[in-house]
Each structure stands twice: as structure tokens, then as C-alpha cells.
Amino acid sequence: MADKSIPDIPEVRTPDADQEEAVSGNTPSEDGISRRKLLGTAGATGLALGAAGGAVGYAAAPSEATPLSSLGSNRVVFHVKHQPGITEGLQARGHLTAFDLTPGAGRKEAAALLRRWSATAERLMAGEAAAHDDTDVARDAGPSSLTLTFGFGHSFFSRTGLEKQRPVSLDPLPDFSSDHLDKARSNGDLWVQIGADDALVAFHALRAIQKDAGSAARIRWQMNGFNRTPGATAHPMTARNLMGQLDGTRNPKPAEPDFDKRIFVPSSGSGDPAWMANGSYAVVRRIRMLLDDWEKLSLKTQENVIGRRKSDGAPLSGGTETTAMDLEKTDAQGNYVVPGNAHARISRPDQNGGAAILRRPFSYHDGFDSDGVPDAGLLFVCWQADPLRGFVTIQRKLDRGDALSKYIRHEASGLFAVPGGAARGEYVGQRLLEG
């Protein structure tokens, strides 16, 4: 599963309408109060008045809109240097979807589709309704930290006649021993990642994107995920996965000097095509956790498999969650305190030539098998400037002796080239499709 010791991003966000970077040289515009914000509490206010005073409830109107809660008002801006949904904190709800272009659809149709998707993403992320045939599913909500992220799969380039623009880094991933991949739920021409802190806001975006696809593309596969809701814990903390482990302690941090070099494609000198500047590569894996087997283990055994304490994520060598792991520390019998095959030991960057990935996953639960076994685990999404030096390097090491491999199974996989953010007046992928 690539790395419980390479951490996720904290679960907390703040309203961020000022985060727009100077991609186009413009500053964020003031769009005013959206239709949703104006209508957000009118229904509830009228209902309360009606219960108290009969017909007065229908005649009275609120003098001003009640502000949205902090959770609903959080906004991520669409026009940024790097596409949204990469460095933002974990969201409570996620949808991962792959599309295939329909027979006869090519570069022209793909360009029109990405133009529609980008316009819809900009509106929905601002808390506005879709431009056409909005379903009203999210009518009363604010942006709720909604992000939409778009990428291209290996097959997209042959479908559109753009083989010469296909990055070498998009070559198919190698096979791994833990792979039990369902091809029908893997890869795809186009990939869309949706995240939000409200389930209805996320579903609304999913439906809008599907409707925008029209006759140009059809859904290949779609997966639903979740994380802990921001504010559910007494203080911000690293997320837990369905095994109960803190999952994401050692994620690269944007403040680190080499963060961009590890995660984003530079403007020049990388060997990637120019249209990938400021972009990143997303590896997507549906990793089933064999929870019945895992939960039979004692706490001590679980901690030895991971190499960290379950209670607080601290390394078994001692300290707190962020204490550096002492790989040489031994017990009275001379055994390593952090076992040699512990997941956290094997996946460390310093054990993999400095390889690092930015993990940004969602948990999933798709019910139970006929014998009552939960179909649950991790929708693993990781970001890197070069998949061969990132995910592939780490996963090959894990493949050779990770204690966790016995309790997980990789059931679907995809690799997608995610271009940089769109400047104002542009759509995502425009430099590829019109270059």
C-alpha cells in the first residue's frame, strides 16, 4: 500500500479565496454572494417561523442571510498554478472517476469536453450552480472545500492522435506481486478526482461532470471514498485509516525546500513535454484491506507490522509521532525495536534512495461479500513529479518484504498525467489539446 509512514496532509483547512496564484497575472475577483449563500437558510428560517406563528411564517422573510458555517464556507480557487485537489487537506468525501472517449470522439471533442468540465469546476468550487440543468442537489450549501482535478491516461493520447505529446513518465506501471487487478476498474482515457467536506456537494459535482461528458465520453469506472470530517477531533491530527492506524505521518510538507521538486513537474529541464509544466503524476490504487485477518492480530503484532504505535503514531523506537525513527535501536535480546520488515521502515525515503510521494487517499467501504467479509480499504492516491522515481521505487521495495503485504490486496490501478492549473480564460489541458 505504499506507506503509512509517508503521511497524509492534515485534515484542517481554512477559507482560502485568496490562494489564487499569479498564473495569469490577475488577482481573485470578488464574485459577491452566490445564489446558494442567499438562499442557504431561507427555507429553514421560514419553517421555524411557521411553526411558531402559523401564517406569519409564510409572510416573513429574513432581513439578511445567515452566514454559512465555517465548514460550508471554505472555498478553494480553481485558477491556480497547480490544479486544486493536490496540496489541499484531506476532504471528508471523495469520488474518483475514469472516463473513456466514445467511438468517433477525438481531439476536438476532448478539447470541448475539458472546456466544459473546467467551466463547471470553476462555478461549483465557488459555490455556484452549474451553468445548465443544475440538479439543485447542493442548492443550500456553500463550496465546502470542493475541488475537481483532471488528468489524462496513457490511452488518451492514441485516441486523440497526440502520441508524440505523451510523456515517457506515463508508461504503464510494472506488475507487483500484491496485484490482483481488475482491468475493468483500472486506467482510462480521462480521470477526474472530486473531493469536498459535504457528501451532497461532492455528489452534485460528480453528476455535473457526468452530464457534461455528454456523447463525448462514458464512465469506465467510479469509486467512492471518505475521510474523517474536519472538526471531528478535539485538535487537528493525522488521519486514521480503516486499520485504525495513523496514516500519513511522513508526508512531504509544502514548506520543505525540495517539495516542489519531488511533487511537481518543473517548467523546463525535466524531459517532460512543455504542457506538463507545474503538473504532477497521480498513481491511483484501490487497495483492499483484509480486515478480518488484520483484526485477529494482537495490538503488539499490529504495531510490529507497521513499526509505529497504534495509539499515537509514534515510532516503536520511542518519542512522539514526529520523532525521527531510530532504525538501529535494539531490545534486550538484540532484536531491532522497529522490525526489519516493518512497513514504516521499508517505505522510508532514506531506505529508497530518497524516493518520496505525496499521499492523499480516501478510505472506502463497498459493503460485504456473501460470506460477510467487508469489501473495504483505501483508495490510494499519491502524487509525484516522476512515478518511476516515486511510487514505483517504493512499491518495488515493499513488494520484496513488507510485513503489511499479507493484509492488503491491490485490486485496481491507474496512472494519470495531471497538467498544471489553468490560467484565467484557459481550460485544463488547453496547452496539450491546442498546442
138 class by beta-carbon count within 10 Å (0-12 exposed, 13-18 middle, 19+ buried): buried
Active site residue 371: no
One-letter amino acid identity for 107? R
3-state SS track over 94-144? EEEEEEEECCCCCHHHHHHHHHHHHHHHHHHHCCCCCCCCCCCCCCCCCCC
Phi, psi at 289, each rounded to 5°: -95, 130
User: Which of 313, 350, 345 minimizes the C-alpha distance to 329?
Assistant: 345
**What is the rounded distance in angstroms from the CA atom of residue 76 to the CA atom of residue 13?**
10
**What is the rounded distance in angstroms from the CA atom of residue 38 to the CA atom of residue 54?**
24
Element (H, E) at 272: none
Q: Which of 100, 189, 198, 247 is catalytic?
A: 247
**What is the rounded distance in angstroms from the CA atom of residue 226 to the CA atom of residue 92?**
5
86 class by beta-carbon count within 10 Å (0-12 exposed, 13-18 middle, 19+ buried): buried
351 class by beta-carbon count within 10 Å (0-12 exposed, 13-18 middle, 19+ buried): middle
Mapping DSSP to helix (H, G, I), strand (E, B) and coil, where does residue 171 land? Answer: coil
Length of the chain (residues): 435
Residues forming the active site? 247
